[in-house]
Amino acid sequence: MLFALLARLGQMVLVMFGISVVAFLIFFATPGADPSARIAGRNASQETLQQVRHDFGLDRPLPVQYALMMKRLFVTRDLTSFVNRGQKVIPTVMNAIPITLSLVCGAAVLWVLGGLVVGVVAGATRGSYVDRGLMMLGLAGISMPVFWLGEVANLVTQSRWHDTWAFSWVPALGYVPLSVDPWGWFKALVIPWTVLATLYVGLYGRVLRASLIEMMQEDFIRTARAKGIGETRVLLHHGLRTSLVAFVTMFGLDFGALVGGGALLTEVVFGLQGVGKLTYDALQTLDLPMILATVIYASFFVVMANFVVDILHAILDPRARDAR
């Protein structure tokens, strides 16, 4: 177990290193990305440019620049943005993390519960109207673009019906820290959660239904039925329990990607200054330090999520436990 943990840590460092190098190189290979021109301002003279290049170490060879940047990112932690002068990268990312985590965790609770209910009910009533209705709703949820759904939600709750009894509780767009005002935090996030979860409820519901139906054809389900334990128990304790392995794997990957910045559209629509929004802005302005910080952060979460998935996988599936 300890060995597995260490191997994982090593793997994580490698992945983060690789991704940061790639991001770094892509940046320098991008035409028009010369940071010194940005930093110095539009009409700066050649001398100023030289000066800026020298000050920021941009005249050094690339490996040295990379090492310097990593040092300022991780060791001294005083790397500043190329675009917003003086904005320290690390604290900015640190401030964005709780926002993204709040958004994604809340949505995850909703979509896991929703996906389980939809998948199990549809799978158990396969072919019925309930099943068909749920699958149709799921498909609708999957096909609605998240920003469109978000805009509609905003339109309804922020302007159209904001003054009616139904939505007068909805606060203005933005984030309220959990530590400051838990109820305000909840109110600010419940609509973003629902919007972000809609897609995944549909997706997870459909996937779970398919895997449950497949599992229920297995021989061991017949054995379980022959035991006289009742269909509910057969369905949940044997069918669902074996289907969960795939469900959890999928969840871990999606969760990691979202926490790593994939909830970008939801963050933008709801004015949440999360990591996704940060990455988005940094990419727009080609702000190399910020890009590096967010990309490394994202890779950390993706690898972490994989790790957690592996652990859950081992807990849920004894065969995977022994395979290691």
Least separation in angstroms between residue 228's CB and other proteins is 3
Least separation in angstroms between residue 254's CB and other proteins is 23
Which residue(s) pair with 80 in the sheet? 88
3-state SS class at 57? coil
Least separation in angstroms between residue 244's CB and other proteins is 8
For other proteins, the binding residues (CB under 8 A) are 127, 218-220, 222-231, 233, 237-238, 241-242, 245, 316-319, 322
Name the residue nearer to other proteins (CB basis): 54 or 321. 321
Least separation in angstroms between residue 214's CB and other proteins is 14
Distance between CA 48 and CA 56 in Å, rounded? 12
Distance between CA 296 and CA 12 in Å, rounded? 10
Least separation in angstroms between residue 267's CB and other proteins is 37
Which residue(s) pair with 88 in the sheet? 80
CA distances to 20, 76, 183, 226, 275 from 73, in Å: 11, 7, 35, 62, 17
With vertex at residue 265, the alpha carbon angle to CA 264 and CA 267, rounded to the nearest 5 degrees, is 65
Closest CA to 204 of 104, 123, 313, 269: 123
